[in-house]
Amino acid sequence: MSNKKNIPSDLQGIARILTDASLGITDIVQAMQKQIVHPFFLPSTPVQKGITNISGFVFNNIRWSTRFFGTGLDKILGQLAIYFKETDSTPEREIFRAVLNGVIGDYLEETKNPLQIKMGFRKNQKEFSLHPEIIKRVYPKVNGKILLLIHGSCMNDALWKRKDHDHGITLSNALGKTTVYLNYNSGRHISDNGQALNNQLESLIKNWPVPIEDFTILAHSMGGLVARSAVYYGKESKKSWTKKLKKMIFLGTPHHGAPLEQAGNYLDLLLETIPYTKPFARLGKIRSAGVTDLRFGNLITEDWEEIDRFKLESDHRKTIPLPKSISCYSIAGIISKEKSSLTNEWLGDKMVPVKSALGEHKDPRRKLKFKKKNTWIAYEHSHVDLLSSKEVFEKLVEWIGED
């Protein structure tokens, strides 16, 4: 979907989410009621069984009514949509969609919800198609030095701008780059986005209106994993764009996972273990495939295929080294003034530990071999501070500008 809005279509998307949410809540309430009526480890009496049968009939009626109402509303809104013209979206709506896609983006894609985000390249928050003449109109001063920015989870291309600073714009001005922003559904599996980006980059490179001299990727958080996944699939399929890519720079990328999702996995186990909280475990399983991929930093389909992504499992990832033909750089944030303790290193930038961001791992085979000169720690920086920091910007100018 482009960055346009159609009020009935948006309402249709929200109505579908609310309908499915109502059905999910009904399931949770029924499961909870059953746990209460039938105490754990105690035999059930005929009266208890009768209560369950009657309540089952009531809950089924609630589900039928919800589906009936939801389907009817969906059809009405779908018919109304053709009478409304698409208008430019608002920043607030785009942020809402970005967060929504990050949390339940796989569900939005699976159900073909109008609120899902389709991957595309943008400038000034407007998507453009990959045709040489259109690219020339979008970039009147286009050159062969491409800088591609890839955002993180629950974000969009507009959120590269923070505190009146945008790395893309300032780097473009400082180094004479043509800056392109990627927007994508961060709730999809990282490998799915990686494969899609691989194909789209091939189209971008083939349709670029001038010869390409230099191609650099700057990625924040999950965006770094999407970039690495795209490179993997690009090299596997021998795509020409991978030969043009010279540098990849990662800002707070969880190369070996993020503690927040790892904690969520343990919470799933805890809720599943206790009989009276088991129904609520379904709530934790709402989170998207993209989010659960962040547990260990999955890059390819084999990392999650045929595996229950909510089950407590060890790290099954295939080891994907940094590509030798591409210069790779990484910046880790840390909220403290110094790398003074294990706690500070583990907290990192509040989202990603220092070791994960720098590709370090206790298993030598999994360690990403960044050159020491190509890594840097930004002290007193949170995860989002990496997007607006003067110090980070200066480091980016140094790295991107060097031959």
Question: Which residues share a beta bridge with 379?
Answer: 334
Given this model, what pLDDT does residue 302 score?
95
More confident site: 113 or 25: 113
Is the pLDDT at 402 greater than 90? The verdict is no
Given this model, what pLDDT does residue 322 score?
97
More confident site: 66 or 102: 102
Would you call 325 exposed, middle or buried from its count of C-beta atoms within 10 A (0-12, 13-18, 19+)? exposed
Rounded Cα–Cα distance for residues 33 and 361 (Å): 45
Tell me the H-state helices in 176-325. 190-207, 222-236, 241-244, 259-273, 281-284, 289-293
More confident site: 85 or 142: 142
**pTM confidence score:** 0.85
Given this model, what pLDDT does residue 26 score?
55
User: How many Cα atoms are found within 13 Å in the side-chain-facing hemisphere of 358?
Assistant: 21
Q: Which amino acid is at 286?
A: I
Q: What is the pLDDT of residues 223-282, one digit of tens each?
A: 999 999 999 999 999 999 999 999 999 999 999 998 877 665 545 455 455 554 455 455
Question: Which residues share a beta bridge with 331?
Answer: 251, 376
Average pLDDT estimate for 348-375: 93
More confident site: 41 or 313: 313
Is the pLDDT at 87 greater than 90? The verdict is no
Is the pLDDT at 41 greater than 90? The verdict is no
Given this model, what pLDDT does residue 27 score?
61
Given this model, what pLDDT does residue 271 score?
47
Q: Euclidean distance between the first and final Cα of the chain, in Å?
A: 38
Q: What is the pLDDT of residues 310-326, one digit of tens each?
A: 787 878 899 999 999 99
Rounded Cα–Cα distance for residues 274 and 218 (Å): 44
Report residue 263 as tokens.
Answer: 């904690």
Report residue 25 as tokens.
Answer: 């809540």
Whose CA is closest to 254, among 336, 361, 337, 181?
A: 361
Contact 378, 348 (CB under 8 A): no
Q: Is the dihedral of CA 279, 283, 287, 292 positive or negative?
A: negative
Would you call 51 exposed, middle or buried from its count of C-beta atoms within 10 A (0-12, 13-18, 19+)? middle
- Which sequence spans correspond to the domains of the chain? 4-88, 120-257+317-401
Given this model, what pLDDT does residue 104 score?
84
Would you call 240 exposed, middle or buried from its count of C-beta atoms within 10 A (0-12, 13-18, 19+)? exposed
Non-local CB neighbours of 133 within 8 Å, separated by 6+ positions: 209
More confident site: 288 or 201: 201
At residue 189, the 3 state secondary structure works out as coil
Report residue 235 as tokens.
Answer: 């090299």
Given this model, what pLDDT does residue 276 score?
47
Average pLDDT estimate for 191-217: 97
Given this model, what pLDDT does residue 303 score?
92
Average pLDDT estimate for 329-357: 82
Is the pLDDT at 202 greater than 80? The verdict is yes
Given this model, what pLDDT does residue 42 score?
59
Contact 368, 254 (CB under 8 A): no
Contact 194, 234 (CB under 8 A): no
Tokens 């407590």 label which residue? 312
Would you call 119 exposed, middle or buried from its count of C-beta atoms within 10 A (0-12, 13-18, 19+)? middle
More confident site: 64 or 360: 360
Alpha carbon 394 to its chain centroid, in Å, reads 27
Question: Which residues share a beta bridge with 375?
Answer: 330
The whole-chain average pLDDT of the chain stands at 84
Whose CA is closest to 247, among 34, 397, 78?
A: 397
CATH 3.40.50.1820 fits 120-257+317-401, yes or no: yes
Given this model, what pLDDT does residue 266 score?
45
- Tally of CB atoms within 10 A around 163: 10
Rounded Cα–Cα distance for residues 399 and 249 (Å): 9
Average pLDDT estimate for 370-383: 94
Given this model, what pLDDT does residue 49 score?
64
